[in-house]
Structure 1
Amino acid sequence: MTWSSMLLLAVTVERVGELWFARRNTKALLSKGGREIGKEHYSLIVALHTLWLSSLWVVAWNVRVHPIWLGVFVCLQALRFWTLATLGKRWTTRIIVVPGETLVAAGPYRFIRHPNYLVVIGEIAVFPLCLGQPLHALVFSIANALVLTVRIKTENAALSGSRHV
């Protein structure tokens, strides 16, 4: 197994684990009276991320891994795990608003409103660069920017009525 295929496998396993975690949390939040906002664009997010990762498997399973970009990617993963740990049972891939809940203002949320989206923006660009795929990074970064524009606007509107703690 090559270094690039091991890295692709690790990211794939991480994403599958996150989907399991998100699905479990989504069910729990909905059972507490939460409601999903932005269902219309969710399939675009899923399609973008699926195409991004699966196409990397096609073009980069057997390439040289660039250590500097890999270091940047590892730093992004640290921020990802900090974000997930901070949100805990409230983290999901969907926008779920639970009446009466307050917005999280701890962890990375003390410094930035959407740390998870910062991570996603970085990953979409940096992971292909780890695998020597700059065109991949550019094309998917542009597509991601378009999707996240809609996503963040929708999430901000949904959360505007929540209190901060």
Structure 2
Amino acid sequence: MAAVVGERMLELVVARRHARWAADRGGVEYGRGHYPVMVALHVALIAGIPAEVALGHREFVSALGWPALAGVVLANAGRWWCVHCLGPQWNTRVIIVPGLPLVGRGPYRWLRHPNYAVVFTEGIALPLVYGAWVTALLFTSANAALMAVRLRVENRALALAT
């Protein structure tokens, strides 16, 4: 969990740096209203896992925990592949710099929004490392509703930019 929290902090540092880069180039943010909900949901995921483990007396189950951990590691590798491919255009917010082309390399060759597949995978796998299946279910359900909003915002913003 400490590694995941550290990774999230690093993500926010990178996102802030990229937001400044985008702002310097006339970047426009879209969908600000859903961003606090997204942050709260991800904080709830991180907080929900140890809470469920403690309250539900969950124990590590090797047959589930190790494959789930592999899923977390692969998801994070996928996340940073997305960050690398998007370069300074990557952000936790939806910020579009006018005139920049869409990225079509790396995982973006196959998926329009590969990072959301990463979030989906991690949202299931991370809690299951600890046997926190209720947290996995609640986060995944809430995240699906949030992603419906986020994808509409992002697709609209990308359509305006191209």
Same fold (TM over 0.5): yes
Residue 74 of structure 1: aligned partner: 73
Native 8 Å contact 2:79 2:118 kept in 1: yes
1:4-153 alignment, distance < 5 Å: 8-60=1-53, 63-64=59-60, 66-153=65-152
SS of corresponding position for 2:10: helix
Structure-2 change in CA distance of 1:140 and 1:150 (3 Å): same
Compute the RMSD of aligned alpha carbons.
1.5
For residues 48-101 of structure 1, the C-alpha deviation after alignment (integer angstroms, 9 at most, x for no partner) is: 001111222333478426111111221112211111111121111000111111
Cα distance in structure 2, aligned partners of 1:23 and 1:75: 24
Which deviates more, 138-147 or 77-86?
Answer: 77-86
Normalising by structure 2, we get a TM-score of 0.91
State the 1:140 CA deviation: 0.8
Cα distance in structure 2, aligned partners of 1:138 and 1:14: 22
Cα distance in structure 2, aligned partners of 1:57 and 1:32: 41
Moved over 3 A (4+): 59-63
Normalising by structure 1, we get a TM-score of 0.89
For residues 11-49 of structure 1, the C-alpha deviation after alignment (integer angstroms, 9 at most, x for no partner) is: 000000101110111111012101100001111101100
**What amino acid is the match of 1:151?**
R
Cα distance in structure 2, aligned partners of 1:39 and 1:124: 22
Cα distance in structure 1, aligned partners of 2:30 and 2:160: 13
Cα distance in structure 1, aligned partners of 2:161 and 2:105: 15
**What amino acid is the match of 1:64?**
F
**What amino acid is the match of 2:44?**
L
Cα distance in structure 1, aligned partners of 2:2 and 2:60: 15
SS of corresponding position for 1:104: coil
What's the % identity of the aligned pairs? 40
State the 1:151 CA deviation: 0.2
SS of corresponding position for 2:131: coil
Q: Gaps spanning 5+ residues in structure 1: where?
A: 1-7
For residues 109-130 of structure 1, the C-alpha deviation after alignment (integer angstroms, 9 at most, x for no partner) is: 0010001111011111111011
Cα distance in structure 1, aligned partners of 2:59 and 2:23: 43
**What amino acid is the match of 1:120?**
V
